[in-house]
């Protein structure tokens, strides 16, 4: 995590005072339940020890001045004005607009932010950005949004200002995560429960393919539409069907002939993935991480063959994982088309697995993969600095 002190120092350099409040929000991993959130299904994410940290102070105007430490770039926009040109600033602008839509008395502010969530690696750096600004503005302008509201504000920022019709998993995990626990979130009711996830002698590690396919966000929206098309077919026969959550495999099969085969495949994946998550949680309850790992492999298979959001680089790493018997589970994580493979590895096998992946991956693609160890850590929070002064 970037040190809070560095962000504060940078704020002072930019704005000539260190009188600011500090907030931080993490990226996330997702253990199982992929592409289920926007289908009203279940997900099992956790917040991690890689964060975005913001130093912020209100400025009594309607102007927002933000400096990104990672891009070494400043942006100024008016909260009542046009969307800024820089993509990263659109996330902040979007959060402000979504708050205004909800009649929140949000005003101008000065801010600096930086972090250590690898960009574009599928660890939800954008959700962390929305969440950290959501939490900071909520606090500084006393808006009284709940964390659940803030997650929705972040999600709607993606829909309306970035163009990705994402689900709510990433923002929810960033805002509501707890150290050592995964969140079983029901994306239909937004009810959630925590499951302890601290297997002794087992590590979680991400291997970043370093591949970012430009198709990611357009294909994401296509997948969402395909799921909606499947739901529409079933709903034309059964009135109360609203999402794939309401459809079982026998029901889907009943109308299979009326569906495009690709649509059928997508829907079948989502229905089975929800089931896998429920079985995965039962395994966690019994401390059976081996069985949980098997579910992760099955999820990858489905994402690769049925949902078709994997790519050759991700498949390659998962194939290597399967040759190491002490890699209990591995799968691509997040939206897909690049990004990371999440693996659950026994400590004793960690070094040989990582060495093997590094070597073989380099040989196959001439790319060095990036290895990112992750620890499940707390969600977004305000830093209670000793010297904090209220605006």
Say how far apart CA 218 and CA 200 lie, in whole Å.
Answer: 40
Choices 30-38, 133-141, 172-180, 278-286 (CB under 6 A): range interacting with ligand GLA? 30-38
Is residue 149 at the binding interface for ligand GLA, with CB under 6 A as the rule?
Answer: no
Among residues 114, 118, 167, 280, the one that binds ligand GLA under rule CB under 6 A: 167
Q: Which long-range contacts (CB under 8 A, 24 or more apart) does 76-84 make?
A: 78/108, 79/106, 79/107, 79/108, 83/161
Q: Give the count of residues interacting with ligand GLA (CB under 6 A).
A: 11
Choices 14-22, 33-41, 93-101, 268-276 (CB under 6 A): range interacting with ligand GLA? 33-41
Nearest approach, Cβ of residue 334 and ligand GLA (Å): 4
Is residue 335 at the binding interface for ligand GLA, with CB under 6 A as the rule?
Answer: yes
Is residue 130 at the binding interface for ligand GLA, with CB under 6 A as the rule?
Answer: no
Q: How many CB atoms lie within 10 A of CB 22?
A: 22
Among residues 55, 106, 169, 202, the one that binds ligand GLA under rule CB under 6 A: 169
Is residue 295 at the binding interface for ligand GLA, with CB under 6 A as the rule?
Answer: no
Provide the CB-side half-sphere exposure for 153 (13 A, CA).
33
Which CB, 111 or 231, lies closer to ligand GLA? Answer: 231
Is residue 280 at the binding interface for ligand GLA, with CB under 6 A as the rule?
Answer: no
Is residue 134 at the binding interface for ligand GLA, with CB under 6 A as the rule?
Answer: no
Structure token pair of residue 295: 């579910």
Choices 35-43, 74-82, 142-150, 264-272 (CB under 6 A): range interacting with ligand GLA? 35-43
Which CB, 199 or 302, lies closer to ligand GLA? Answer: 302
Among residues 38, 88, 113, 353, the one that binds ligand GLA under rule CB under 6 A: 38
Among residues 170, 306, 313, 346, the one that binds ligand GLA under rule CB under 6 A: 170
Question: For residue 320, what are the CA distances in angstroms to 94, 316, 360?
Answer: 41, 6, 8
What is the signed CA dihedral for 122, 125, 126, 127, rounded to 10 degrees? 90
356 annotated active-site? no
Q: How many CB atoms lie within 10 A of CB 6?
A: 14
Which CB, 54 or 169, lies closer to ligand GLA? Answer: 169
Catalytic residue among 149, 170, 208, 315: 170
Q: Which of residues 227-266 bind ligand GLA (CB under 6 A)?
A: none
Say how far apart CA 199 and CA 345 lie, in whole Å.
Answer: 10
Is residue 354 at the binding interface for ligand GLA, with CB under 6 A as the rule?
Answer: no
Which CB, 75 or 169, lies closer to ligand GLA? Answer: 169
Choices 167-175, 272-280, 289-297, 370-378 (CB under 6 A): range interacting with ligand GLA? 167-175
Which CB, 115 or 335, lies closer to ligand GLA? Answer: 335
Contact yes or no for 244/41 (Cβ under 8 A): yes
Q: Is 391 helix (H, G, I), strand (E, B) or coil?
A: coil
Q: Where are the alpha helices (DSSP H) in the chain?
A: 4-15, 87-101, 125-140, 147-157, 169-176, 216-235, 249-254, 261-285, 289-305, 312-322, 347-365
Structure token pair of residue 131: 């969440």
Q: Is 183 helix (H, G, I), strand (E, B) or coil?
A: strand
Question: For residue 304, what are the CA distances in angstroms to 265, 314, 316, 338?
Answer: 12, 9, 11, 12
Nearest approach, Cβ of residue 132 and ligand GLA (Å): 16
Nearest to 246 by CA among 302, 190, 188, 299: 188
Q: In the complex, which residues of this chain contact ligand GLA (CB under 6 A)?
A: 34-35, 37-38, 124, 166-167, 169-170, 334-335
Q: Report the catalytic residues.
A: 170
């Amino acid at each position: 995590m970037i040190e809070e002190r560095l962000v504060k120092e940078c704020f002072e350099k930019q704005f000539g005072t260190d009188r600011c409040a500090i907030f931080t929000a993490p990226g996330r991993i997702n253990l199982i339940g992929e592409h289920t959130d926007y289908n009203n299904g279940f997900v099992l994410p956790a917040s991690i020890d890689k964060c975005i940290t913001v130093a912020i102070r209100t400025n009594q105007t309607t102007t927002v001045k933000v400096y990104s430490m990672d891009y070494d770039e400043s942006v100024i926009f008016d909260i009542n004005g046009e969307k800024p040109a820089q993509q990263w600033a659109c996330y902040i602008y979007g959060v402000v607009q979504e708050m205004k839509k909800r009649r929140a008395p949000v005003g101008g502010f000065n801010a600096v932010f930086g972090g250590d969530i690898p960009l574009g690696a599928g660890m939800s750096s954008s959700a962390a950005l929305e969440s950290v600004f959501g939490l900071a503005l909520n606090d500084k302008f006393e808006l009284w949004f709940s964390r659940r509201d803030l997650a929705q504000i972040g999600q709607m920022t993606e829909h309306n200002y970035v163009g990705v019709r994402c689900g709510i998993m990433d923002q929810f995990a960033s805002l509501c995560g707890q150290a050592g626990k995964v969140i079983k979130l029901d994306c239909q009711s937004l009810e959630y429960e925590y499951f302890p996830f601290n297997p002794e002698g087992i590590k979680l590690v991400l291997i970043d393919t370093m591949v970012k396919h430009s198709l990611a966000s357009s294909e994401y929206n296509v997948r969402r539409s395909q799921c909606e098309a499947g739901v529409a077919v079933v709903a034309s026969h059964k009135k109360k069907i609203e999402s794939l959550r309401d459809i079982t495999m026998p029901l889907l099969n009943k109308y299979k002939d009326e569906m495009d085969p690709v649509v059928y495949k997508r829907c079948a994946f989502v229905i089975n993935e929800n089931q896998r998550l429920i079985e995965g949680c039962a395994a966690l309850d019994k401390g059976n991480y081996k069985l949980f790992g098997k579910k992760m492999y099955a999820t990858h298979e489905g994402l690769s063959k049925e949902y078709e959001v994997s790519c050759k680089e991700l498949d390659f790493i998962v194939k290597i994982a399967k040759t190491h018997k002490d890699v209990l589970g591995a799968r691509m994580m997040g939206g897909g088309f690049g990004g990371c493979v999440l693996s659950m590895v026994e400590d004793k096998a960690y070094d040989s697995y990582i060495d093997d992946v590094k070597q073989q991956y380099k040989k196959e693609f001439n790319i060095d993969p990036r290895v990112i160890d992750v620890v499940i850590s707390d969600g977004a929070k305000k830093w209670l600095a000793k010297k904090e002064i209220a605006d």
